[in-house]
Chains A and B, each alone.
Chain A
């Protein structure tokens, strides 16, 4: 596809009008299927029984919280260097979506924590890193909203996102290191190699569904962002009048 066409806001806005409805339906049904798979079909865990099933929400949410940050930072970088407007919008909308994913990961982590460790919160490496990630997202969102000139706000928040991206592995490994000094291996370790395929498959499936959800919501939000920016321009008025 021609890159300049994708970059062109008009083109994106016009051609995604009907896509969002279809995508929403597909995502919704696939999600329901995934929940069913995870809650009923997947086998019981021999240690945790049924309470482990929250990982079918927790793990994809945590994964997405990190993946979306990378999307935000990379699109922000592209927007800074090549000055492509749509990348600015994608970057800032990803920030909000990523923050929600982080919140879901934290809340589901807390729900998992209660039956597993007896408390809602524990300062282990994963949850602490996730919490700091939430603050990084909030920082990007808040600094963007503080600028009245949205073009400049997008540049500054992109810069913050990029520097934050460098910081994330540092934070993660320092928190993990601090934790292993105090507690031993973390309890929320992702047991990928040792999990049975019947438990693993729904997890990977949910990961794909979450990604689909991200794309759906992103397209909707980017359309909203384009509308907010271009609402006073002629092409938008003409388009809405049709």
Chain B
């Protein structure tokens, strides 16, 4: 099993000439979960986007196994599954087609997907919407479709932006169960959240962000 060490060292980010966050550092290894919390506008989403490599850093480094994420040898995208608060779904495809498509991107086993798809759709209770277009779903159900990617993937690093938003109680609990399974099999999770659900986890790490006072 692959050993993964994420080291974030003193990163800061500037957007539209405004300093969003400053001096953020943490490290994370296999079997650990990081909760990023803070008031609105403190830069949680921006930090998550820098961790995924789609937002530029002003200062500092992000390293995985001692290789900078910009380094092509680092290959961290092979281990990364990112679900932002925009879901990343195709509105004009059905749930099943979306998952079939995303299956290609998430280091999943195609046969496993085909054989077990109905089972997995039942996990978040969206199986009856299987052939609905995503554009016809409610916000919560769209979120569930996006999160269903986590059921198929073999990727180790999960970076999720407010995954519990819009979910009903049942699905929240199921998602937390999913996180626990992932942690226990050596995965890493970085999640931003308004709700503190770290009590379910034995070893949680916290990153409290304060935002910049102008």
Q: A and B: direct contact (Cβ < 8 Å)?
A: yes
Shortest Cβ distance from residue B37 to the other chain A in the assembled complex, whole angstroms: 26
CA distance A151 to B17 in the complex (A): 8
Q: Please measure, in the bound complex, the distance between the C-alpha atom of A78 and the C-alpha atom of B106, giving whole angstroms.
A: 36
Residue in A closest to B58 when the chains form the complex, CB atoms: A151
In the complex, which residues of chain B have a beta carbon less than 8 angstroms from the beta carbon of A14? none
Q: Which residue of B lies closest to A229 (CB)?
A: B17
B140 CB to nearest chain A CB (Å): 32
Which chain B residues (1-43) contact chain A, with CB distance < 8 Å? 14-17
Range class of the B interface residue count: under 10
A21 within 8 Å of B by Cβ?
no
Q: Name, among A148, A150, A151, the residue most crowded by chain B CB atoms within 10 Å (CB to CB).
A: A151
Nearest B residue (CB) for A83: B56
A-side contacts of B16, CB under 8 Å: 148-151
Is the interface on chain A under 10, 10 to 19, 20 to 34, or 35 or more residues? Answer: under 10
Residue ID in chain A nearest B15 by CB atoms: A149
Q: Which residues of B contact A151 (CB under 8 A)?
A: 14, 16-17
Question: Which of chain B's residues have a CB closer than 8 A to the CB of A148?
Answer: 16
Most chain A CB within 10 A, of B14, B15, B16, B17, is at B17
A167 to B192, CA, bound (A): 45
Complex contacts, A229 vs chain B, CB 8 Å: 17
Determine the residue in chain B with the shortest Cβ distance to A149: B16
B23 to chain A, nearest CB (A): 17
- A135-175 contacts to B, CB under 8 A, are 148-151
- A175 CB to nearest chain B CB (Å): 39
Q: Which residues of A contact B17 (CB under 8 A)?
A: 149-151, 229, 232
How far does the alpha carbon of A151 sit from the alpha carbon of B14 in the complex, in Å? 10
Residues of chain A within 8 A (CB-CB) of B14 are 151
B16's nearest neighbour on chain A, judged by CB, is A149
Give the contacts of B26-80 with A (CB-CB under 8 A).
none
Complex CA gap A149/B17 in Å reads: 7
Q: Please, how many angstroms separate the alpha-carbon atoms of A150 and B16 in the complex?
A: 7
0/1 per residue, A95-129, Cβ < 8 Å to B? 00000000000000000000000000000000000
Minimum C-beta distance from A158 to chain B (A): 15
Cβ distance B196 to chain A, nearest Cβ, rounded Å: 33
* A116 vs B153: C-alpha distance when bound (angstroms): 74
Q: Chain B: which residue is nearest A147 at the CB level?
A: B16
Contact pattern, A 218-237, Cβ under 8 Å of B = 1, otherwise 0 = 00000000000100100000
Q: Would you give the shortest CB distance from A176 to chain B, in whole angstroms?
A: 42
Chain A residues near B15 (CB-CB < 8 A): 149
Minimal beta-carbon separation of B206 from chain A (angstroms) = 30
A150 and B15 alpha carbons, distance in the complex (Å): 9
- Alpha-carbon distance between A181 and B55 when the two chains are bound, in angstroms: 51
Alpha-carbon gap, A150 to B14, bound state (A): 11
Minimum Cβ distance to chain A for residue B164 (Å): 30
How far is B17's CA from A148's CA once the two chains are assembled, in angstroms?
10
Chain B, Cβ-Cβ closest to A150: B17
Query: Nearest Cβ in chain A — how far from B14, in angstroms?
Result: 8
CB distance from B39 to the nearest CB of A (A): 23
Given contact pairs A149-B17, A151-B16, A151-B17, a sample of 8 additional A-B residue pairs in the complex whose CB atoms are under 8 Å apart:
A148-B16, A149-B15, A149-B16, A150-B16, A150-B17, A151-B14, A229-B17, A232-B17
* Residues on B facing A (Cβ under 8 Å): 14-17
Can you offer 11 A-B residue contacts whose CB atoms are under 8 A?
A148-B16, A149-B15, A149-B16, A149-B17, A150-B16, A150-B17, A151-B14, A151-B16, A151-B17, A229-B17, A232-B17
In the A-B complex, the 3 residue pairs with the smallest Cβ-Cβ separation, listed nearest first, are: A149-B16, A148-B16, A149-B15
